[in-house]
């Protein structure tokens, strides 16, 4: 039997099932008009890291970014498949459906 132990602090666990890329996809799927600062705060990373991940996701075709005035609006391409070979046959929409349920 395997056990998962959390840190002895009252902060975040030492690991999560989703990467920061996954967390950002979930966040912008929920709130496509989020500011980078809001995205970073929701995920628990710096704005610089959030910008880097948003760039990765845009270059890879997982999101599109539309400039509306002085703000960006993000759209997730839910038809794109996961990147890892074990999940590559599944679209990311399957993951996003889990987190869009209320």
In the chain, what are the domain boundaries?
20-100
Q: Is pLDDT above 50 for 2?
A: no
Q: What is the crossing angle of helices 20-30 and 47-59, to 10°?
A: 80
In 3-state terms, what secondary structure has residue 68?
A: strand
Query: Is the dihedral angle over the CA atoms 45, 48, 50, 52 positive or is it negative?
Result: negative
- CA–CA separation, 59 and 32 (whole Å): 17
For 20-100, the fitting CATH number among 1.10.10.10, 2.170.130.10, 1.25.40.90, 3.40.718.10 is 1.10.10.10
Looking at residue 100, its pLDDT comes to: 85
Q: Is the pTM of this model over 0.75?
A: yes
pLDDT digits (tens, 9 = 90+) for 5-58: 444 456 666 788 999 999 999 999 999 999 999 999 999 999 999 999 999 999
pLDDT digits (tens, 9 = 90+) for 62-80: 999 999 999 999 999 999 9
Looking at residue 73, its pLDDT comes to: 96
Please report the DSSP string for 1-27 in residue order.
Answer: -------SSSS--S--SS-HHHHHHHH
């Amino acid at each position: 039997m395997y056990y998962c132990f959390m840190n002895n602090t009252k902060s975040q666990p030492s690991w999560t099932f989703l990467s920061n890329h996954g967390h950002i996809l979930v966040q912008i799927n929920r709130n496509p008009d989020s500011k980078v600062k809001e995205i970073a705060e929701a995920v628990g990373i710096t704005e610089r890291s959030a910008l880097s991940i948003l760039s990765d996701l845009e270059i890879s075709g997982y999101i599109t970014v539309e400039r509306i005035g002085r703000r960006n609006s993000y759209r997730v391409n839910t038809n794109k498949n996961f990147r890892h070979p074990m999940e590559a046959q599944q679209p990311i929409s399957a993951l996003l459906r889990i987190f869009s349920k209320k």
